[in-house]
């Protein structure tokens, strides 16, 4: 019996090494897929977007005097014209944005792509005592993106605009104390996250309102992001509102789009955990076969280990073609079929379909499926291990192992 256990242990460690190689292969494929296909998704769909408020600037030409010394040490004064830029503050901001999540799968990864509808009304007032020609400039939230149905209206009227490298702008004449209303809107596409940035430094914001509509429930705000002042759940998402009368903050309004269950990393995690599943399964078989005096040769354990490995090998190359849930179901059925169809020839159909298939369903299928529930995997496996230990202790509590050893 000692030799048989030693052979089973050797088979177990060889299979564990195979899983280690397989999980490394899956990780390499995932990294390659992310590096190769991630850029394609970004170039074809768009990058993460960071919208800032439009700027209102004007310039004055001022004379600056510089004093220098010539070769003889005599002070020489020179006067030259210098353009000085001034920025008008935003008196009020009323923004409405909608985020529609649309997942895209490339290879072993899902990408959180989205459509965004942005509409905003801003008010600027000329604080200069002179009439000014003010440049109103809207910076685009991302360089790699498309902008459809672009609107740029001043006091409700279209104006002549020009496009820069990453912005659109127009010039308007403003009298002293005059206020103008700027309306901007567009439809675009992004990836991963969306945010509204007030400025690089701590900024004072007055009369600000931003309403966000989402078509997803799982909202997530990154670090250093402002939480909504009010939120209401809708039929398919959330209605989030940020209202501020006089805000001084260096934070931003941001939303991280929820990620879908990632096939590549999940398949890699399940493969890494596979030796634990096989260890429980082998322990169960050794216990049951010893109690019932069923003879299983180490070669039988080898084929059973291969059936377990087939589950993970098939899933590794199936998840990038079909749904991971469907792939998991197919791989589970294939692996259980291999074990049952084999053990019915070795031991009998009753043992194969009841004890062996039941143990495989618990230790391979259920333990692996625990990885679908983020944050509960360790707890699920721990509870399963404790329940298995309790069952084994109750079943074998009255057994005299010494007599079994002598009989063997």
Q: What is the CATH number of the domain that holds 88?
A: 2.60.40.3680
Banded pLDDT at 323 (limits 50, 70, 90): confident
Same domain, residue pair 277 and 157: no
Which residues constitute the domain of residue 187? 47-62+80-256
Number of Cβ within 10 Å of residue 129's Cβ equals 8
Do 218 and 306 lie in a common domain? no
Residue 56 belongs to a domain? yes
User: Does residue 55 sit within a domain?
Assistant: yes
Whether 241 and 275 share a structural domain: no
pLDDT tens-place string over residues 247-263: 887 789 999 999 888 88
**pLDDT average, residue stretch 298-317:** 93
Listed residue (293, 285, 282, 297) closest to 346, CA to CA: 297
Cα-Cα end-to-end distance for the chain: 7
The helix or strand, by DSSP H or E, that contains position 403, with its residue range, turns out to be: helix 401-407
Q: How many domains, in total, are found in the chain?
A: 2
Give the tens place of pLDDT for each residue, 61-117.
776 667 777 666 677 677 777 788 888 989 999 999 999 999 888 777 888 899 999
- How far, in Å, CA of 157 to CA of 136, rounded? 14
Q: Is the domain of 208 the same as that of 171?
A: yes
Considering the domain architecture, whether residues 197 and 312 belong to the same structural domain is answered as no
Verify that 305 and 377 share a domain, yes or no. Answer: yes
* Domain match, 251 and 305 both: no
Least confident of 80-84, 348-352, 374-378, 397-401: 397-401
Domain boundary pick from 233, 256, 279 = 256
Q: 60, 84 in Cβ contact below 8 A?
A: yes
Cβ–Cβ under 8 Å, residues 355 and 288: yes
- Same domain? For 268 and 344 the reply is yes
378 part of a folded domain: yes
In sequence order, the 6+-apart residues with CB closer than 8 A to the CB of 217 are: 233, 236, 237, 238
Whether residues 7 and 29 fall in one domain: yes
39: burial class by Cβ within 10 Å (0-12, 13-18, 19+)? exposed
Classify 307 in phi/psi space as left (phi over 0), alpha (psi -120 to 50) or beta: alpha
- The answer on 246 and 218 residing in a single domain is yes
**Residue 13: both structure tokens together:** 């460690």
**Domain end marker among 200, 227, 256:** 256
Q: What are phi and psi of 328, to 5 degrees?
A: -60, -45
Q: Please report the pLDDT score of residue 1 as a whole number.
A: 65
Which of these three, 201, 233, 256, is where a domain ends?
256
Separation of alpha carbons 185 and 151, rounded Å: 5
Same structural domain for residues 211 and 347?
no
- 62/59 Cα distance (integer angstroms): 9
């Amino acid at each position: 019996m000692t030799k048989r256990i030693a052979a089973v242990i050797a088979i177990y460690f060889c299979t564990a090494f195979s899983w280690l190689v397989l999980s490394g292969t899956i990780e390499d494929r995932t990294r390659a897929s992310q590096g190769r296909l991630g850029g394609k998704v970004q170039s074809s769909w768009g990058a993460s977007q960071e919208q800032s408020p439009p700027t209102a600037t004007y310039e004055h030409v001022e004379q600056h005097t510089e004093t220098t010394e010539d070769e003889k040490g005599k002070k020489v004064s020179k006067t030259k014209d210098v353009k000085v830029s001034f920025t008008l503050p935003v008196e009020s901001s009323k923004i409405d944005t909608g985020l529609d999540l649309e997942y895209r799968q490339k290879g072993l990864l899902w990408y959180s792509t989205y459509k965004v509808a942005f509409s905003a009304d801003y008010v600027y007032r000329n604080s200069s005592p002179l009439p000014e020609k003010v440049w109103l400039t809207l910076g685009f939230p991302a360089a790699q993106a498309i902008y459809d149905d672009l609107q740029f209206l001043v006091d409700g009227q279209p104006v002549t605009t020009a496009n820069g490298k990453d912005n659109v702008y127009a010039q308007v004449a403003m009298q002293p104390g005059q206020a103008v209303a700027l309306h901007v809107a567009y439809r675009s596409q992004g990836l991963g996250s969306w945010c509204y940035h007030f400025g690089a430094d701590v900024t004072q914001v007055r009369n600000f309102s931003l309403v966000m509509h989402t078509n997803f429930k799982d909202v997530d705000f990154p670090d250093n992001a402002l939480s909504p002042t009010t939120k209401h759940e809708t039929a398919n998402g959330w209605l989030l509102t940020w209202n501020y009368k006089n805000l001084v903050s260096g934070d931003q309004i941001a939303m991280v789009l929820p990620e879908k269950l990632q096939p590549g990393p999940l398949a890699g995690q399940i493969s890494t955990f596979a030796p634990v599943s096989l260890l429980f399964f082998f322990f169960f078989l050794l216990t049951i076969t010893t109690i019932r005096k069923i003879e299983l040769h180490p070669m039988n354990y080898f084929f059973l280990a291969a059936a377990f490995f087939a589950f993970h090998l098939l899933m590794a190359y199936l998840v990038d073609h079909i749904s991971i849930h469907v792939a998991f179901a197919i791989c589970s059925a294939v692996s259980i079929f291999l074990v049952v169809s084999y053990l019915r020839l070795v031991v009998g159909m009753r043992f194969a379909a009841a004890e062996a298939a039941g143990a495989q369903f618990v230790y391979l299928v259920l333990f692996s499926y625990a990885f679908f529930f983020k944050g509960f995997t360790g707890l699920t496996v721990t509870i399963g291990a404790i329940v298995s230990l309790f069952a084994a202790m109750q079943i074998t509590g009255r057994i005299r192992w010494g007599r079994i050893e002598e009989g063997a």
